[in-house]
Structure 1
Amino acid sequence: MQTPSMWRHTLTFFPQFLAALKERAEPDSTVTVIGASDGRLILPLVSAGYHVVAIERDSLALHGGEVQLPGDKTGHAMGLIERLKLEGLADQVQVVEEDFLASEPLGTTSDAAWTSCSWHYGANHRRPLGEFVDRMQCLVRPGGLLGAEFMMPIEQRHHMLEHYTSPERLQRYFIGDWDVLLTLRTNEFTERAHVGQLQDHTHRMGLFLAARASTPS
């Protein structure tokens, strides 16, 4: 990949999701990504042979534009659509420019669904976390994979919001037809300033991977 993502230096559990996907899905399977951003995790999926449905509401992430950078600088960020064209991958990605929580369901299922740190964004706090999880689950066919990385609470205000969660709290959404495959978490760590967070900041992150049963229980 020749076009850099503006999020390329931020920590992610995506390699664990990709490893599970390779174990459980065929190379030409379809993966739906909620919160596609500028394609930081889309392009690796396509390069690995998967078809991708990329859902994103943010115009800047999709179409690019001027961004504020650390150090009181500005720069041009390349959006997902331009990156896909430059990489010659546009035919393998269906871009859905919609609010995942407000739009009508896609009406189709995928072999896997993934989201990266989308729950904690303020725009998603107006709906219960369970609604987001339920919509994700509805995207996954029987036998398919669901993966989510998310922010865990650090500050007091985080503990007042269910969207800053933990693997233990997520368990209650995955009963019946779901098998939990892997949960991980970090300790608190300092992440360097980046687009959207112009000062060094502290995070704690979690990972939740689950598989939908091939037949209903």
Structure 2
Amino acid sequence: MRTQSMWRHTLTFFPQFLAVLKERAEPDSTVTVIGASDGRLILPLVSAGYRVVAIERDPIAVHGGEVQLPGDNTGHAMGLIERLKLEGLNGRVQVVEEDFLVSEPLGTTSDAVWTSCSWHYGANHRRPLGEFVYRMQRLVRPGGLYGAEFMMPVEQRHHLLEHYTSPERLRRYFIGDWDVLLTLRTDEFTERAHVGQLQDHTPRMGLFLAARASTLS
């Protein structure tokens, strides 16, 4: 790709999600991404042949603008819309600039839904984690795929917040019409400073993939 995401160096389980998606979804299927950011994972989905609904409320992520960089520097970040245009991919992405937890941005379901480390952000703590999970679930059509990567607790304060969760805790939301396909987790690891986290830091991450039953009960 000719453009680069400001999140390109951060760890992700996205390759595992994409592999399962390719096994279960037809070419040209629609994938909804909650917290699309500047398109770090949007562009690979479109390049793989999928249509994408990108939901993002941060205006800088969508339109670009000045961001704080590590080392007490500032710089200009290219937004999602500009990146899609420069890559020639904007015709296959519907950008929805709304707060996912405030409004119901879509009237239809998708073949898959994905979020990358969205619900641990403090701005999303005003609503229970279960609400975020259930809203995502409602976007998945029968037979569709649900995927989320998320931060797991490391510091003591994380253990007091349900939004720093684990695959085991997430399972309670996926009973009945759901089949858990894959869960993964990392040990603690060191990640270099990046936009949004201006110091080197030590996170843990988890992955949760589930499929919705083809016929809902």
Q: TM-score, normalised by structure 1?
A: 0.99
- Structure 1 residue aligned with 2:5: 5
Match of 2:164 in 1: 164
Which amino acid in 1 is paired with 2:6?
M
2:173 is equivalent to residue 152 of structure 1: no
Provide the C-alpha distance between the structure 2 equivalents of 1:68 and 1:157, rounded to a whole number of angstroms.
Answer: 25
- 1:93 aligns with 93
Equivalent residue pairs, number = 217
How do residues 1-217 of structure 1 correspond to structure 2 at under 5 angstroms?
1-217=1-217
Distance in structure 1 (CA, Å) of the matches to 2:105 and 2:80: 22
SS at match of 2:132: helix
Q: Which amino acid aligns with 2:74?
A: T
Q: 1:70 deviation in Å?
A: 1.0
Partner SS state of residue 127, structure 2: coil
SS at match of 2:202: strand
Partner amino acid, structure 1, of 2:184? L
1:143 aligned counterpart, secondary structure: strand
Moved over 4 A (4+): none
Tell me how far 1:73 sits from its aligned partner.
Answer: 1.5
Q: d(CA) in 2 for partners of 1:44 and 1:149?
A: 16
Query: C-alpha deviations, 1:17-51, integer Å up to 9, x for none?
Result: 00000000011000000000000000000000000
Distance between the aligned counterparts of 1:153 and 1:55, measured in 2? 26
Equivalent AA in structure 2 for residue 211 of structure 1: A
SS in 2 for 1:189: coil
Q: CA deviation at 1:67?
A: 1.1
Unaligned segments of structure 1, at least 5 residues? none
Structure 2 unmatched runs, 5+? none
Shift of 1:104: 2.4
Residue 105 of structure 1 and its aligned partner are, at CA, apart by 4.7
SS in 2 for 1:164: coil
Give, in angstroms, the shift of residue 216 of structure 1: 1.9
**Identity of aligned pairs, percent?**
90
Q: Shift of residue 121 of structure 1?
A: 0.4
